[in-house]
Homo-oligomer: A and B are copies of this chain.
Amino acid sequence: MSSQIQNYRVDLGNRAYDIHIEKGCLSRIGEACTSLFGEQAKRCLIMTNDVVAPLYLATVQTSLESQAWQVSTHIIPDGEQFKTIDTWSAIMDSLMTNKLARNEPIIALGGGVVGDMAGFAAACYRRGIPFVQVPTTVLAQVDSSVGGKTAVSHAHGKNMIGAFYQPKLVWIDPNVLQTLAPNQLRAGLAEVIKYGAIWDAEFFRYVEQHAKQLHELDTKTMSKVILDSCRYKAEIVMQDETEQGARALLNLGHTFGHAIESMTHYTGYLHGEAVAIGMCMAARLSEQLGHAPHGTESSMVSALQALELPVAPPMFTAEQWLDAMGHDKKNIGSLIRYILLRGIGEAFIAEDVKDSDIQTLIQSYA
């Protein structure tokens, strides 16, 4: 076994699954599925989008068909704005038309939107069928494909409709990143640096210092970063699968980030770009409230700039920000929960941030 093959087990009892990371493994997804689902399962549905399909659908479909799978496909348009109930409902139609049985899987081939929607479709069709994540973006490989958060969005808020529903396998081929658009690559690295900001200042610095290698898709660096990220994600999911507590730390930058995406109608920023800005805002707010030492924000800004990510929030009024965040699904009662920093490498959940604190923060950017 080559050192380039990595397996990591997400131990969730009867919902346990493997994360498999290996260059070139895309063309062996058929064997993996046959080994996992056995001979009773005959049909599967590959769900992907119209950007990924021309690049990788044939490889995945051929691999499955060579193992005697009856493959049907469902291709959605690319983009966060299609993450809707209507798109999900059309996937349901495909599943019904192709008569997938309870033991037959959906294969999610794509980025975060494809994975989230395929997962939510798998969670609901016949009250739950298996699904496999084959992530094709950095964001999906390091974050969204692991952990079982599935969702569609609502006009009033991102990811407001969904389920906690774990995949049966996460199958990661770093080679597919070679065709990823540079802005998508950078956006995914925002979620990578997030793990460092929450738990591990050393990893934070490693990512910042290896920005060039990551942008150039250096094999060794990228593989390390994907594996470490999957481990961070898996460990917190094993502690708190349904986000009753510690898992909320992963939302660092996301309360502000979701507001940015919502206020710009999901077309102005990629998710990771919005999260990058959101992390800078969280760092500034942490300093403003006396939770983090001076310099925390500038460390965050420097690292994200090294990764060529945006750091300045778009201009909206404090009222617009608060209204957009009022719909954030992480709220309990009328409070908005923020994830703040005690410094780079240590995050916590703040339940007592006042609206006036947010007004001060927003004014500081004016």
Contact (Cβ within 8 A) B127 A326: no
A237 close to B (CB within 8 Å): no
Contact of A331 among B41, B101, B127, B156 (CB under 8 A): B101
Measured in the bound complex, the distance between the Cα atoms of B327 and A97 in whole Å is 9
Bound together, the chains give a CA A125 to CA B156 distance in angstroms of 12
Does the CB pair B127–A151 fall under 8 Å?
yes
The CA-CA distance from A89 to B124 in the complex, in Å, is 14
User: Does A157 make an interface contact (CB < 8 A)?
Assistant: yes
User: A164: CB under 8 A from chain B?
Assistant: yes
- Asked if A128 and B333 sit within 8 Å, CB to CB, the answer is no
Q: Across the interface, which residues of B come within 8 angstroms of A124, CB to CB?
A: 124, 161-163
Known: A85-B89, A157-B96. A128 touches B329 (CB 8 A): no
Q: Is the CB of A164 within 8 A of B333?
A: no
Q: Mark A135-171, 1 if CB is under 8 A from B, else 0.
A: 0000000000000010100111100111110000000
Q: A102 contacts which chain B residues (CB < 8 A)?
A: 329, 331-332
- Knowing A96-B156, A96-B160, A161-B92, the reply to whether A242 touches B128 (Cβ < 8 A) is yes
With A102-B329, A163-B163, A333-B103 in contact, is A85–B96 under 8 Å at CB? no
Q: How far is the CB of A264 from chain B (nearest CB, A)?
A: 19
B128 touches A163 (CB 8 A): yes
A9 interface contact, C-beta 8 A: no
Q: Nearest chain B CB to A156's CB is how many angstroms away? A: 4
- A277 near B: Cβ within 8 Å? no
Alpha-carbon separation in the docked complex, A11 to B105 (Å): 31
User: In the complex, A154 Cα to B163 Cα: how many Å?
Assistant: 19
Compute how far the CA of A125 lies from the CA of B154 in the bound complex, rounded to whole angstroms: 10
Q: What separation, in Å, do the CA atoms of A151 and B104 have in the docked complex?
A: 20
Cβ–Cβ < 8 Å partners of A157 in chain B: 96
Q: In chain A between 70 and 126, which residues have their CB closer than 8 angstroms to a CB of chain B?
A: 85, 89, 92-93, 96-97, 99, 101-104, 123-126
Residues in chain B near residue A89, CB distance under 8 A: 85
Residue A2 at the chain B interface, CB threshold 8 Å: no
Asked if A40 and B333 make an inter-chain contact with CB atoms under 8 angstroms apart, the answer reads yes
CA distance A332 to B151 in the complex (A): 26
Q: Given B126, B156, B163, B331, which contacts A97 in the complex, CB threshold below 8 Å?
A: B156
Q: Does A42 contact B (CB under 8 A)?
A: yes
A327 lies within 8 A of B96 (CB): yes
List of B residues within 8 angstroms of A41 by Cβ:
333
Known: A89-B85, A92-B85, A156-B96. A329 touches B40 (CB 8 A): no
Which 8 pairs, one residue from A and one from B, show the smallest C-beta to C-beta distance?
A: A96-B156, A126-B329, A127-B162, A124-B161, A85-B89, A101-B333, A96-B154, A101-B332
A-B contact pairs, 17 of them (CB 8 A): A41-B333, A42-B333, A85-B85, A85-B89, A92-B161, A96-B154, A96-B156, A97-B156, A99-B326, A101-B331, A101-B332, A101-B333, A102-B329, A103-B333, A123-B163, A124-B162, A127-B164
**Interface positions of A (Cβ within 8 A of B):** 40-42, 85, 89, 92-93, 96-97, 99, 101-104, 123-128, 149, 151, 154-157, 160-164, 242-243, 326-327, 329, 331-334
